[in-house]
Amino acid sequence: MRLVSLTANIESFHAVHFRQTGPSLVVGRQSSKSAEGGTDTHTYNGVGKSLLLYLINYCLGAEPKDSFTSQLNDWEFTLRVAINNHEMPIVRKVSAPDIIRLGFEELSLEDFRKRLQEYIFPGTEDIKFLTLRSLLGSFLRPGKMAYSKWDGIHHSEKPVQRQIRASYLLGLNVDLVTQKFELIEELRSMRDMSTRFSKDPIIKEYFNGKKDVSLDIRELEDQLAILDRSLSEFKVAENYHDVEQEAQELKASLQKLRNTALATGANLRQIEESLKVQPDISLESVRQIYEEAKVHFSIDLLRRLSEVENFHAELLEARRTRLKKEKEAHEQRLASTEARIKSLNEQLDGKLRFLNDHGALGELLSLKDRSNELRNRLQKLLDYKTLTKKFKDRSAELQVDLATASVETARYLDANEPSVAAINETFRSFTKLIYPEKQSGLSVENDEGENQTRFKIDAKIISDASDGINEAKIFSYDLTVATLRRNHDVRFICHDSRLYSDIDPRQRAEIFRLAASVSVEHDFQYIATVNQDQIEAVRGILGEAEFGRIISQNTVLELKDDSPADRLLGIEVDIDYD
């Protein structure tokens, strides 16, 4: 795929037409007043160089930025591309960012990405971490973060994501990378699970070796067996609580009756004692005593004594009669009470037998809760025992699989040594022209460490701390991917002016030479935005003829800061698109 042109539906926009082979430079120039040393604050920034690359990216399916959408809602951008020498437009309206027109077909953003991925990165649909957006990032670096690492395009990327993309674009075996990633992920997952077990309040004692899990499993199984038998024999009585209440009432009634029986019995015993009482002395006994004392009673006195004796006899008889009646009444009451006690005892026995043979629903639920609690604990211990064994077995298998995969990778690198060497030599051929005296290379080695990366892919230029070294690695790596052209049909590289900022003018001149010659030799586009000072600094190094051939003749658009009309959009707008 090549980029043909970028246009918009608003007349103020400065259309860009790209050269189909070789460099296409978009130059940001200062106003003449600033260039002459005046006090004008105009700069290269804000003229639209980086915005141009964002718009290309936007038409190729990038997510829209909020400020971009809010300020350019009426705009529509058209990026014409050539795929397999067939030219077609890609049209995206800012007001409808979820729809993109590819040729004459309107597609959802997701479907557009899938379609374009099939065109230029065939066979990547099912490869983990490979998407259109991540792959295009190596040809059209999206923003500042993409210029911090030679193999990175976003700060949130994992090392394995960068490696899978680099492996694919360099023509290495991606399956080896995903295989190791999945093995390591499984191993880490098992270790994480083991860590979670070590923190579980039930399991940690076994994990730390303080308790024997097998013994506790057996004990829990015995307890559950007893509970299960109790549950199987349990009979639920819906009126259990009613019967229980009736039994309590019967017990209270029986206690009252027993108290009554005790009181009645005590009264009977007292009456029986009273019936046994006789007068201590009779009238005849009194007379005899007095006769012995030679005292004679008068007839009147004797008559009065006799009357008293008779009176007392009548009183005693009346008392005996009354006591007998009371005794009879108490005997009847006691018999009735004892009969009632017997009857209530029989009723209570029946209630208690019922309660003994049956249970309440709450009791059943309590038994079930206890059963569930023990069962859950048992299951957790069984899982722990099973998973511990599985962990040990699988960990050993994974270690074997990782060792096997490492051997396979070593064999793969040996068998594909010419292809791997071509990666290093291509990269080195570029870096040696930029930094002739520095050792450099793009090495690919087997990574046997317990990590997610299969290969050690390392872009090196010795003295990496020097200004511009990182940018030189990025440039050389991107050129390597473009020239090797493995697994892709992307015929362009786009670089932002920030790539050249820290590079010494001598190295920058060599980069422009390389970009011009290599892009023509290998038939791809080198699209770059540059500042006026960045190219003017190399004019003397290149010479006027070479400067004209590499820079001037390949400048497809100049943007200035004289007025909004001289900027890319042709209007004054402040957009945060980085």
pLDDT value of residue 577: 61
Q: What is the mean pLDDT of residues 55-66?
A: 93
pLDDT surpassing 60 at residue 542: yes
pLDDT surpassing 50 at residue 24: yes
Handedness of CA 340, 344, 347, 353 (dihedral sign): negative
In eight-state DSSP terms, residue 488 is: -
pLDDT surpassing 50 at residue 102: yes
Q: Which tens digits make up the pLDDT trace of 443-454? A: 999 999 999 999
Taking all residues of the chain, what is their mean pLDDT, rounded to a whole number? 85
| Tokens representing residue 260 in the block | 């009554």
pLDDT surpassing 90 at residue 97: yes
Q: Return the domain boundaries, the chain.
A: 2-173+416-566, 240-358
DSSP-assigned beta bridge partners for residue 557: 26
pLDDT value of residue 514: 97
User: With left for phi above 0 and alpha for psi between -120 and 50, is residue 310 left, alpha or beta?
Assistant: alpha
pLDDT value of residue 174: 96
- Is 28:497 a contact under the CB 8 Å cutoff? yes
DSSP-assigned beta bridge partners for residue 101: 91, 106
Residue 322 CB: number of other CB atoms within 10 A? 12
The least confident of 98-102, 261-265, 535-539 is 261-265
Name the architecture of domain 2-173+416-566. Answer: 3-Layer(aba) Sandwich (3.40)
Percent of the chain scored above 90 by pLDDT?
A: 52
Pairing state between β 525-531 and 555-560: unpaired
- Is 460:432 a contact under the CB 8 Å cutoff? no
The least confident of 327-331, 422-426, 434-438, 465-469 is 465-469
pLDDT value of residue 111: 97
pLDDT band at 42; cut points 50, 70, 90: very low
The least confident of 52-66, 301-315, 390-404 is 301-315
- pTM here is 0.71
pLDDT value of residue 496: 96
| Tokens representing residue 336 in the block | 């009735």
- 88 or 43: which leads in pLDDT: 88
pLDDT band at 210; cut points 50, 70, 90: low
**How far is residue 409 CA from its own chain's centroid?**
33
The rounded distance, in Å, linking the Cα atoms of 548 and 555 is 10
The rounded distance, in Å, linking the Cα atoms of 103 and 80 is 9
